Amino acid sequence: MTAALTASGLGVRLGDDRTLVHGVDVTLEPGERLGIIGESGSGKSLTALAMLGLLAYPLTPFGSATIATAEGEVEVVGTPSRRLDRVRGRTISAVFQEPLASLDPLMRVGKQLAWPLAKHRGLAGDALRRCVLDALTDVQLPDPERIARSFIHEISGGQRQRVAIALALAAGPSILIADEPTTALDVTVQAGILDLLQREVTERGMTLLFISHDLPVVSQIADRVLVMRDGRQVELGDTAQLLRSPRHEYTAQLVAASRALDDFLPAKGTR
Ligand SMILES: Nc1ncnc2c1ncn2[C@@H]1O[C@H](COP(=O)(O)OP(=O)(O)OP(=O)(O)O)[C@@H](O)[C@H]1O
């Protein structure tokens, strides 16, 4: 089976003399869910941007990141960004912590969503309108008709993030990179979004790379977890095994910290 995404010695430099990410090695099989975890500044987002070919000068990638497409494997590192445009959206898509990064302030929400649905799924007219409303309903937006008519500044931060997630999924990508997608959302909506991503994985075989600093969230959704610290890959392993018997001291600290939080909180049903 061809891997969906492979990073080999994938790293990021700042200018000529500073290395921010020192080389990540990981292979994602189709339909696999990988979590990346690590404290703030550990290099998670830069690794994701390197995989997407979205680093901007003076940040430059090194090593290799390959993505499997219907036309064969594409090497991201060294390929001009505009040549990756046909891969992004359809094969690999992304959602970031800050939704404004991917939304257009001058276009109504419905129109923004309609564009990829028309382009990649060939929909038009009533079928397109229904699909836009379904996409908004899938991300648990109340009153999807009103949201579809709204501009981004007319909806709340949490609603914007849900629109950004709907937009990232609109073209039915085979790989989704989700960089802290639920951090700004309340717990109930967060659970709904995790369910939605999970459904995309089980029903469509989507490959998911889920980035978070929250180990309990990552362990809920990921088959394997990659731990990063100070721009270095510290550990990569099966989620259950990593939680049970972390090999690296830093991973053990993360696991202990999330357990300590669990112990501190009252048990379910006693609140
Ligand atoms: N454009 C940039 N110019 C200079 N340094 C940068 C730039 N972007 C990121 N960095 C630095 O690179 C390191 C890794 O950043 P990165 O955003 O990947 O961390 P992260 O693990 O995603 O953190 P967070 O969880 O806070 O999002 C940090 O030290 C950050 O300050």
With helix as H, strand as E and coil as C, how does 58-87 read? CEEEEEEEEEEECCEEEECCCCCHHHHCCC
Q: How confident is the model at residue 11 (pLDDT cuts 50, 70, 90)?
A: very high
Give 181 Cα–ligand 1 centroid separation in angstroms.
Answer: 17
Give 40 Cα–ligand 1 centroid separation in angstroms.
Answer: 8
What is the structure's pLDDT at 271? 39
Ligand 1 atom showing the smallest separation from residue 47 Cα: 18
Least confident of 65-69, 101-105, 208-212: 101-105
- pLDDT tens-digit readout, 151-202: 999 998 889 989 999 999 998 899 999 999 888 788 888 888 888 899 889 9
What is the structure's pLDDT at 269? 46
Ligand 1 atom showing the smallest separation from residue 38 Cα: 21
Question: What's the mean pLDDT in 89-108?
Answer: 89
Ligand 1 atom showing the smallest separation from residue 48 Cα: 18
Q: How confident is the model at residue 266 (pLDDT cuts 50, 70, 90)?
A: low
Residue ranges, comma separated, of all CATH 3.40.50.300 domains in the chain are 1-91+174-271
Pocket test for ligand 1, best of 12, 14, 21, 214 (most atoms within 8 A of CB): 14
Q: To which CATH superfamily is domain 1-91+174-271 assigned?
A: P-loop containing nucleotide triphosphate hydrolases (3.40.50.300)
Ligand 1 atom showing the smallest separation from residue 49 Cα: 18
* Ligand 1 pocket at CB < 6 A: 14, 20, 38, 40-46, 59, 213
Tell whether the model's pLDDT for residue 211 goes beyond 90: yes
- pLDDT tens-digit readout, 118-128: 988 889 999 99
- Interface confidence (ipTM) of the complex: 0.97
Tell whether the model's pLDDT for residue 267 goes beyond 90: no
What is the structure's pLDDT at 97? 85
Give 226 Cα–ligand 1 centroid separation in angstroms.
Answer: 17
What is the structure's pLDDT at 262? 63
